[in-house]
Amino acid sequence: MGTKIVGTGISLPENVLTNFDLEKLVDTSDEWITTRTGIKERRIAKEESVVEMAKEASLQALKRANLQPEDIDVVVVATLTPEKKFPSTGCLLQAELGITSGYAFDLSAACSGFLYSLEVADGLLKSGKARRVLVVGVEKLSEIVDWTDRSTCVLFGDGAGAVILENSDDGSELLASKMYSEGNLWDILYADKCGYIKMKGRELFKVAVRNMEEACREVLETSGVPPEDISLIIPHQANVRIINALAEKLGIPMERVYINIDRYGNTSAASIPIALHEAIEEGRLKRGDLVLMTAMGGGLTWGAALLRY
């Protein structure tokens, strides 16, 4: 039995903040942001809460999977911007969806949170402890961005992406996954005492490219899949230069790399499930295709997962 994604969904705030809007807030320019990050605009939640975005994405995923909330056994929410200190956003989402059985919890691994959650869900399904798992990556990073810090405020956006996973014998499978963390490097990317995101960009760039490449090569080697067989790579959308460097090192042409950072910026744990949903909707990812996903975030945390969709 393999782990199959049977439904996906996303939620994106209506409010769009462009680079030209940011020019009015801090000393920056559209050209500077675009050249260094690849970002043109991002979504900023005004009225939408973390739970509301998670709920909308989850309902879309349920509809596409032709399932009801009561069909879900476990809810896992990957986020670094929870709705409350406690209870977990997972429990709040469980209540909003009307799920009265099973259990729910949050997982905090920053930008790697979705991949960490995917590995947890795969383990629950393969062990028989769950039949269906809802995994949601959701962030409201606009609440922890210092809007006077031009080095970070241009990077981040808000949104949610959800997937529903279940056991299947039709060939769909999480072929390999590998997660890492290195707590000694926490001060490269973290939240300060005021709760604002702080980052050492140059150091993070080097570490991100190296570690994501190594994680990708490890899952490819474990599964016996050469890079040329990958249909699509969905990297965490942090910086287009990181994405380009990673693709070059792996020898994967850019036409097989999914990029939406220009429209959404860095949405942390939500970035991969948002991109995954869009790739499926656009027909760039079809049943039987091999998709390689990789991310790196604060912790430092990183990892990669290879899925036969």
Kindly state whether residues 177 and 161 are assigned to the same domain: no
**Which CATH number covers residue 94?**
3.40.47.10
Domain boundary among 168, 195, 211: 168
Kindly state whether residues 192 and 144 are assigned to the same domain: no
Look at the chain and report how many structural domains it folds into: 2
What is the model's pLDDT at position 182? 98
Kindly state whether residues 12 and 61 are assigned to the same domain: yes
Kindly state whether residues 14 and 142 are assigned to the same domain: yes
List all residues 6 or more positions away from 45 whose beta carbon is below 8 Å from its beta carbon. Answer: 13, 15, 53, 140, 142, 158
- Provide the residue range defining the domain that includes 20: 2-168
Kindly state whether residues 224 and 189 are assigned to the same domain: yes
| DSSP β-ladder status, 290-297 and 301-308 | antiparallel
The secondary element (H helix, E strand) that includes residue 156 is none
Query: Which residues make beta-bridge pairs with 24?
Result: none
What is the model's pLDDT at position 206? 93
Structure tokens at 54: 């998670």
Widest distance between CA atoms in the chain? 55
Q: What is the pLDDT of residues 106-122, one digit of tens each?
A: 999 999 999 999 999 99
What is the model's pLDDT at position 113? 98
Q: What is the pTM of this model?
A: 0.97
Q: What is the pLDDT of residues 4-22, one digit of tens each?
A: 999 999 999 999 999 999 9
What is the model's pLDDT at position 1? 84
Kindly state whether residues 161 and 187 are assigned to the same domain: no
List all residues 6 or more positions away from 31 whose beta carbon is below 8 Å from its beta carbon. Answer: none
Residues in the chain with pLDDT values less than 70: none
Closest CA to 122 of 57, 180, 59, 172: 172
199-to-98, 186, 206, 287 alpha-carbon distances in Å: 39, 10, 13, 38
Domain boundary among 126, 141, 168: 168
Kindly state whether residues 24 and 90 are assigned to the same domain: yes
Query: Nearest 5 degrees, angle CA 107-CA 112-CA 113?
Result: 20
Domain boundary among 168, 197, 216: 168
Closest CA to 208 of 171, 237, 232, 233: 237
Query: Which residues make beta-bridge pairs with 295?
Result: 303
Question: Catalytic site residues?
Answer: 111, 236, 266
Kindly state whether residues 44 and 130 are assigned to the same domain: yes
Structure tokens at 58: 């989850």
Kindly state whether residues 163 and 36 are assigned to the same domain: yes
